Structure 1
Amino acid sequence: MTENDAPGWDAIDAALAPLYPEVTPRHVGYTPPPMLGGMGLQGCSAYPADGHWHYVSYGLSELYQPGPEDDPEWSGWGFELTCRVVRGAEAEAPQWPFGMLNELAKHVNTNKVLLEPGHRIDLRQPITGHPHLPDAPPSGLTVYALTLDPQLGEIDTPNGKVQFLQAVGVSEREKAAMLETSTAAVLTGLAEGNPLLVTDPARPA
């Protein structure tokens, strides 16, 4: 490999290609990038899917060449974040999920938090970042629950395994139910009418 090779990035692209053939996503990069000391993501792509936007992060796994001390079994943190957000008449993917996924990545990198399916992140404020992000709608959902992305799951890359952890917006009431049962049990109930667990910020809390 050369210093410009990005086998981890290529592996993520390859996992997405069968879902979105010949689709060019909206992609954003973040500054400063991790290689220059940034604590967030390298980038994030949003794909137009059936009735929703599908956001996928780049940068919590090892995108480029791993170092000699990196775990060969898992790439970077061993996961990337995804989020599915309900799609309306807008022609372009909303900006606020790009911002919120980057904030979650900063939480991981700053606090060295290893996220796994079943974990929850209670923001104690709207999951959209409202009113701080310009296009963020208000929402009664205040918690992100994490589960394996139902379409992407886990992949093997040249740098190790990567899980795609989908951040699903839930309410404080649903978080309480998760504490009584489990995150998986509540998300299974939500998936009965919403199999891809698309987040709708306008959903009643």
Structure 2
Amino acid sequence: MSLFDKWKKKDTSSKMTEGWDAIVEVCEKVYPNQKEPLHYGTLVSWKLGGNDPLDGISIYDGGDYWHFVTFGLSELYEKESSDPKISGYGMEFTLKLKKGYGDDDAQIRGICGILQTLARITFQNGEVFREYEYIYTGQKEGMDIQQTSLLTGFITALDSDIQTIVTPFGKVDFIELIGATNQELQALQNHQCTVKELYQKIGDITDYQRQSVI
């Protein structure tokens, strides 16, 4: 596991955190009673040579699921990219993980690790994820801690709850990752269905216990 740990979210009272503040603000519109969500922050930042590109991941309690929101794919503290209309890579990741599959704390840490891995792809290769795409590596093991789930990859959609925002540094879309089975991902690869069609069948909750719909 890479170097991140659980702590309270950053103090966002400074003008130097305008991008961070904007993400918190839109999340609090969805979860107005959760001012201090569970938060995993990076111990050694990417800029200082750390392995984790995301500065933090907040996890909100959605009732039946945990709602993950990343901080770091957009510009959090200052404008550095050349496009004034887009903040950083123009996105942050979200994910809704259904509760009740073994050790919640371990599964939450597992998802945080996956989000950092995907963010690393963006930071290293410049790959930007948009809605209705799929992420398929060909792996057969489940993405859960026990590696027994049928879910092995993801499809993407715009988060149905957290709306696109425009921060002082530009636009940010919230790209939701939704777990998909190997069979579903192969169907997408073989053009047997579209990502949008699959999304309409499985919804936006990542459920480690669900069966394939294809």
TM-score, length-scaled by structure 2: 0.82
Aligned to 2:94: 82
How much does 1:168 deviate?
0.4
CA deviations over 1:45-97 (Å, ceiling 9, x no partner) = 10111200000000000001113x53111100000001100012867572111
Aligned to 1:62: 75
Aligned to 1:99: 113
How do 1:43-54 residues align onto structure 2 when only pairs under 5 Å count?
A: 43-54=56-67
Please say if residues 75 and 88 of structure 2, whose CA atoms lie closer than 8 Å, have aligned partners that are also in contact.
yes
Structural RMSD (CA): 2.3
Please say if residues 143 and 153 of structure 2, whose CA atoms lie closer than 8 Å, have aligned partners that are also in contact.
no
CA deviations over 1:178-205 (Å, ceiling 9, x no partner) = 33231111101222xxxxx110112124
CA deviations over 1:101-130 (Å, ceiling 9, x no partner) = 111111111121111112211141445354
Please say if residues 127 and 169 of structure 1, whose CA atoms lie closer than 8 Å, have aligned partners that are also in contact.
no
CA deviations over 1:129-168 (Å, ceiling 9, x no partner) = 54xxxxx552111111111011113111111000000110
How do 1:28-39 residues align onto structure 2 when only pairs under 5 Å count?
A: 28-38=40-50
* 2:20 maps to amino acid: W
Please say if residues 20 and 77 of structure 2, whose CA atoms lie closer than 8 Å, have aligned partners that are also in contact.
yes
Q: Tell me, what secondary structure is at the counterpart of 2:29?
A: coil
Whole-Å Cα distance in 1 between the matches of residues 96 and 28 of structure 2?
A: 17
* 2:70 maps to amino acid: S
Q: Provide the aligned length of Structure 1 versus Structure 2.
A: 193
* 1:22 maps to amino acid: N
Q: Does 1:22 align with 2:36?
A: no
Q: Tell me, what secondary structure is at the counterpart of 1:5?
A: helix
Would the alpha carbon gap of residues 100 and 127 (structure 1) be closer, same or farther in structure 2, given more than 3 Å must change? farther
Aligned to 2:200: 188
| Correspondent of 2:134 among 102, 106, 120 | 120
Q: Does 1:5 align with 2:16?
A: yes
Q: Does 1:110 align with 2:121?
A: no
Ranges in structure 2 where 5+ consecutive residues have no aligned partner: 1-13
Please say if residues 140 and 182 of structure 2, whose CA atoms lie closer than 8 Å, have aligned partners that are also in contact.
no
Would the alpha carbon gap of residues 28 and 65 (structure 1) be closer, same or farther in structure 2, given more than 3 Å must change? same
Give percent identity, aligned residues only: 30
Q: Could you list the structure 1 runs, at least 4 aligned residues long, displaced by more than 3 angstroms after superposition.
A: 89-93
Would the alpha carbon gap of residues 117 and 47 (structure 1) be closer, same or farther in structure 2, given more than 3 Å must change? same
CA deviations over 1:2-46 (Å, ceiling 9, x no partner) = x96111100000000111113121101124213323452111010
Aligned to 2:162: 152
